[in-house]
Amino acid sequence: MNGISRARVGAAVIAVTALALAGCGRGDGTEDGAAEPAAEVTEGAASGSIEVWAMGTEGEKLGDFAAAFVAENPDVEVNVTAVPWDAAHDKIATAIAGGTTPDVSMIGTTWMGEFAATGALDPTPDLIDPAGFFEGAWETTNVGGTNYGVPWYVETRVLYYRTDLIPEAPTDWAGLTAAAQSAMDAGATYGINLQPGQTGAWQTFMPFAWQAGAQLVNDDATEFTLDSPEMVAALTEYQSFFTDGLAPTDLPQGSLEPDFMAGKIASFISGPWHVGILKELDEAGMANVALTTLPAGENEASFIGGANLAVFEATDNRDAAWKFVQWLSQPEVQVAWYSEVSDLPSVSAAWDDPAIADDPYLGVFAKQLETAVAPPSIPTWEEVASVIDTELENLAKTGADPQEIATAIQQQAAAIGTGL
């Protein structure tokens, strides 16, 4: 290319860019205004076809499971596409950008704020009765005052402990520290394992904050309130385990489960999936393992997570989509789903069913779900959570002052904003 044509190409590029940019510019900000009330869903059986995305095992099993729905609604066709958890977030985001969203999709609870803020999700119509769900679970569908989708399944965190090292389950903070200490006197290397920062640590720490009575955001979720005395109290408590040597700060990845089953670690906080993992590792050893609800601070609390089902605003078949979602929220269907994939139902009535009520471990989760709290469903939550993770690492590993940590978290969170 000689000099002349190079200049011509350059000019063309600039022209095109300028043209594109001329079309840019935000509107009057009406997008984030009050959400319109959800349109109603028509009566009668569902018809047409709907496309559903679900991740992991749920994606695998939902296709066949939905046959019962089709049996009740003969004119409807349900196409389930399984999506891997790895990068599912990216897939949904790009689908929104490219306009290729399905009718219904499973969405992780911590992603709700972000996707709702794009305007891609359909507000929940009156067809769905919120009273049936656990309160914490229903809160995960609330973004800026409007509810999107429904909770599908839940998970919450409880205390796993070894009965040979901790004979009696602790019921409050002081009890927890004492139990960890006595476990170490009895021979354990560590009394408890708490995540010392890094990805996901906030899910282990937040229960302490909620147990202390801390509020994370103000009432309409437009501002953060992370620098409060309650938060400092929770941070101090969390840090005490590390500074007193009760919890490790550098446990290698993958060592938790073997060390717990070997009695080196006396307790840890986690969700329902660890039951299966520990059983696989050492079935006989499970005789010495018990679960209990998290010890209370000012009150009891734990973290609630799980996944929701959302309908997309761009759907061609809104009626059938919402009817399918409603069907999946019925208690009997939730129980049947539990037998398929062991997902804990988000509908409280489902827990009365013997299949769940009689399980030795699930009773603890049921009790915990009554006091489980969800983090605010704001668009920027993931970023704020990662700030909290980083500051928790400073707290646990460098012995920083809890008040300074709380202030640092508040400052950074305020700079990010809630997105609402």
Partner 1 sequence: MSAVAPVRSGARAPDRTAPAVPRRHPPLRRRRTWAAWGFALPFMALFLVFTAGPVLMSFAMAITDLRSSDLRNPLAVNFVGIDNFRAVLADPLFRKAAANTAYFVLVGVPLTIGLALAIAVLLNTGITRLTAFFRVGYYMPVVTSIVAVAVVWRFLLQPDTGLINEVLGWFGIAGPNWLADTHWAMPSLIAMATWRSIGTLIIIFLAGLQGVPVSLHEAAALDGATGWQRFRYITLPTVRPTILFGAVITGIGYLQFFEEPFVMTQGGPLNSTLSVSYYIYNQFGFGNYSYAAAMSYVLFIAIIVLTVLQFRLLGDRDPRPPRRRRAPATPVARQEVGR
Partner 2 sequence: MTAPPTTPPTTPPTVRSAVRPRRAKERSIGEARPQVWTYIVLGLGLLVVASPFAWMVLSSLKSEGEIRRVPPTWLPEAPSLANFSDLFARLDFPQFFTNSAVVATAVTVGNLVFCSMLGYVLAKSEFGGRTWLFRLVLATLMIPGMVTLVPLFVLVANIGLVNTYWGLILPFLAGPFGVFLMRQFIQGIPDELIDAARMDGASELRVFLQVVMPLCKPALATLAILTFLGSWNNFLWPLVVATSEEKYTLPVALALYSVGQNQTEYGLLLAGAVVIVVPVLAVFLLLQRYFVQGIAMTGIK
Contact assessment for residue 248 and residue 193, using Cβ atoms and an 8 Å cutoff: yes
60 binds, among partner 2, partner 1, none (CB under 5 to 8 A by kind): partner 2
On whether the CB atoms of residues 151 and 141 are closer than 8 A, the answer is yes
Per rule CB under 8 A, is residue 23 in the interface with partner 2?
no
From residue 104 to residue 133, the character string flagging contacts with partner 2 as x (rule: CB under 8 A) and all else as - is: ----x-------------------------
Binders in 171-200 for partner 2, by CB under 8 A: none
* x/- letters, 199..238, toward partner 1 (CB under 8 A): x---------------------------------------
Give the pairing type, strands 150-156 and 344-345. Answer: antiparallel
Reference 267, options 157, 369, 360, 355; nearest CA is: 157
Q: For helices 331-341 and 56-65, give the axis angle rounded to 10 degrees.
A: 120
Residue 379 interacts with, from partner 1, partner 2, none (CB under 5-8 Å by kind): partner 1
The answer to whether residues 103 and 321 touch, using CB atoms and an 8 Å cutoff, is: yes
Least Cβ distance, residue 394 to partner 1 (angstroms):
7
Q: Does 233 bind partner 2 (CB under 8 A)?
A: no
Of 294, 265, 291, nearest to 186 by C-alpha is 265
What CA–CA distance (Å, rounded) separates 360 from 171?
19
User: Strands 372-373, 302-311: parallel, antiparallel or unpaired by DSSP?
Assistant: parallel
Binding mask 233-272 for partner 1 (x = CB under 8 A): ----------------xx-xxx------------------
Q: Indicate which single residue of 26, 34, 36, 43 sits in contact with partner 1 (rule: CB under 8 A).
A: 26
Indicate which single residue of 20, 280, 284, 354 sits in contact with partner 2 (rule: CB under 8 A).
Answer: 280
- Assess 114 for contact with partner 1 (CB under 8 A): yes
Q: How far is the CB of 308 from partner 1 (least distance, A)?
A: 18
Rounded alpha-carbon distances, angstroms, from residue 369 to 31, 212, 293, 305, 337? 35, 18, 9, 10, 18
From 7, 68, 277, 287, residue interacting with partner 2 (rule: CB under 8 A): 277
DSSP states of 64-75: HHTHHHHHHSTT
Q: Tell me which of 41, 78, 102, 115 binds partner 2, using CB under 8 A.
A: 102
Q: Among 32, 64, 85, 174, which residue interacts with partner 2 (rule: CB under 8 A)? A: 85
As a dihedral over the C-alpha atoms of residue 248, residue 249, residue 250, residue 251, rounded to 10 degrees, the angle is 40
244 binds, among partner 1, partner 2, none (CB under 5 to 8 A by kind): none
Compute, in degrees rounded to 10, the torsion defined by CA atoms 97, 99, 103, 106. Answer: -20
State the Cα–Cα distance between residues 281 and 267, nearest whole angstrom.
16
Q: How far apart are alpha carbons 179 and 412 in whole angstroms?
A: 35
The count of other CB atoms within 10 Å of the CB of residue 204 is 19
Question: Given the complex with partner 2, which of 188 and 214 has the nearer CB atom?
Answer: 188
Binding residue for partner 2 (CB under 8 A) from 114, 122, 155, 300? 155
Q: Is 354 in the site for partner 1 (CB under 8 A)?
A: no
Considering only residues 72 to 101 of the shown chain, the ones binding partner 1 according to CB under 8 A are 89-90, 93, 96-97, 99
Q: What is the torsional sign of CA 53, 58, 60, 64?
A: negative
Residues that bind partner 1 (CB under 8 A): 13, 16-17, 20-21, 23-27, 31, 89-90, 93, 96-97, 99, 114, 117-120, 197-199, 249-250, 252-254, 379-380, 382-383, 386, 390, 393-394, 397-398, 419
Residues that bind partner 2 (CB under 8 A): 1-2, 6, 51, 55-57, 59-60, 79, 81-87, 90-91, 93-95, 97-100, 102, 108, 155, 252, 254-255, 257-259, 271, 273, 276-277, 280-282, 307
